[in-house]
Amino acid sequence: MLKVGIVGGTGYTGVELLRLLAAHPQVELAVITSRSEAGMAVSDMFPNLRGHVSLKFTAPDTQALTACDVVFFATPNGTAMQTVPELLRAGVRVIDLAADYRLRDRNEWEKWYGMTHASPDYLEQAVYGLPEVHRAAVRDARLIANPGCYPTAVQLGWLPLLEAELIETSHLIADCKSGVSGAGRKAEVGILLCEASESFKAYGVSGHRHLPEIRQGLTAMAKTPVGLTFVPHLTPMIRGIHATLYAKLKRTDVDLQKLFECRYTDEPFVDVLPMGGLPETRSVRGSNMCRIAVHRPQGGDTVVVLSVIDNLVKGAAGQAVHNLNIMFGLPETLGLTGIALSP
């Protein structure tokens, strides 16, 4: 059994991580920290975990965390980087669900996150945990930078096309929508029910923190710098990411459906829909699946890829558990075979 610690168990990604790990047959939950809720039973805050998690929240204690085999950070950006070096020196493996180690370039990270990086030497050492791309590196990783939700949906959507060098990389467009849980578990006017319900709006048009992460991943796939326009939108639903991706084809004589099916045939958490498919966010709600469809409208030279995920599962906690399984040589689907909820 793997002894697991979670730093920051009170947010939406934290409770989703708890839900998945509590049912994982090879995991023993040992430590769950929260500065504000120390002493409270986890199941008192999250009644859905009654009978599954008996722990109480504790104040962060590095010594207690060093007794774990692996520690997950489900904390705000800028928290993990304070403690990760000490845990790594103690031999603990770390999976960070925040953005502290996602970007390779320190200056770029500090520009987008507005703070000085506390452990920049680890930026190059961290493995970007997109299993469909970096599976081999994840196996031996000591530190995993778990991808963001938008970046997961976007990169998986474009991956086959970039690997095959089939699209122009100078003008990629990602038109993306997210449920309100993507904003986190906090009191903020813009995400109140009366503010977000029955409405639809773009945000971060001039620049969103996920932009450099997506651009970094796509550049690595394309082996050349990419031009990217990324516009996120807030939709009146709780969970879900829908990415509509546009690019110009270099060639129109390729069977795009076959390309996608072949690329993802062995991937347990990517489902390529039949030709003409229209993936819905509700089809992945509560699951670790990414569902994708590829279209070429009117048979022209524009390719449109539709990619949907649950932002809290495949876009966060589920992908983190997938990385855990790979790191410790467990079956990749262990603890992640739940079917999406409907309705």
Residue range 223-235, pLDDT digits in tens: 999 999 999 999 9
CA dist., res. 130 & res. 309, Å (int): 14
Mean pLDDT across 262-273: 98
- Annotated active-site residue 149? The verdict is yes
CATH 3.40.50.720 spans which residues of the chain? 2-125
**How does pLDDT run across 120-135, given as a tens digit for each residue?**
999 999 999 999 999 9
DSSP conformation class of 99: S
Task: Pinpoint the alpha helices (H) of 149-266.
Answer: 149-163, 193-196, 210-222, 256-264
CA of 94: how far to CAs of 28, 254, 258, 321, 332, in Å? 16, 41, 37, 12, 18
pLDDT computed for residue 164 by the predictor: 97
> Can you tell me the mean pLDDT for 253-281?
98
Band (pLDDT 50/70/90 cuts) for residue 186 is: confident
Answer whether 0.75 is exceeded by the pTM: yes
Give the active site residue among 149, 176, 194, 262. 149
pLDDT at 250: 97
Distance CA 84, CA 235 (A): 34
Q: What are residue 295's DSSP bridge partners?
A: 304
Instruction: Give the residue, 236 or 194, on which the prediction is more confident.
Output: 236
From the candidate CATH numbers 1.20.140.10, 3.10.20.30, 3.40.50.720, 3.40.1050.10, the one assigned to the domain spanning 2-125: 3.40.50.720
Instruction: Kindly tell me if the per-residue pLDDT of 160 is higher than 90.
Output: yes
Q: What is the pLDDT of residue 189?
A: 83
From 174, 303, 171, select the one nearest 230 (Cα to Cα). 174
**For a pLDDT cut of 90, what percent of the chain falls above it?**
93
pLDDT of residue 15 exceeding 80, the answer is: yes
Whether the per-residue pLDDT at 115 is higher than 90: the answer is yes
Give the pLDDT mean for 147-176.
98
Give the pLDDT score at 192.
83
Give the residue range(s) of CATH 3.30.360.10 domains in the chain. 150-310
33-37, 55-59, 94-98, 305-309: segment of lowest average pLDDT: 33-37
Across 42-61, average pLDDT:
95
The contacts of residue 66 (CB under 8 Å, 6+ apart) are 86, 87, 90, 91, 92
- Are the C-beta atoms of 21 and 42 separated by less than 8 Å? no
* Residue that wins the pLDDT comparison between 80 and 182: 80
- Lowest-pLDDT choice from 14-18, 106-110, 189-193, 275-279: 189-193
Query: Once rounded to an integer, what is the mean pLDDT over residues 80-98?
Result: 97
Mean pLDDT, to the nearest integer, of 27-49? 94
Does residue 187 register a pLDDT over 80? no
The confidence band for 8, taking pLDDT boundaries of 50, 70 and 90, is: very high
Given this model, what pLDDT does residue 303 score?
A: 98
pLDDT value at 63 more than 80: yes
Residue 337 banded pLDDT, cuts 50, 70, 90: very high
Contact status, residue 126 vs residue 140, Cβ threshold 8 Å: no
Q: Is the pLDDT of residue 292 over 90?
A: yes
Q: How far apart are CA 171 and CA 299, in angstroms?
A: 20
pLDDT value at position 264?
A: 98
Residue 287: band (very low, low, confident or very high) from pLDDT cuts 50, 70, 90: very high
pLDDT at 9: 87
What is the pLDDT at residue 182? 87
Phi, psi of 194, rounded to the nearest 5 degrees? -70, -20
Please report the pLDDT score of residue 18 as a whole number.
Answer: 97
**Class assignment of domain 150-310?**
alpha beta
Give Cα 189 to chain centroid, integer Å: 25
> From its phi and psi, is residue 299 left (phi > 0), alpha (psi between -120 and 50) or beta?
left
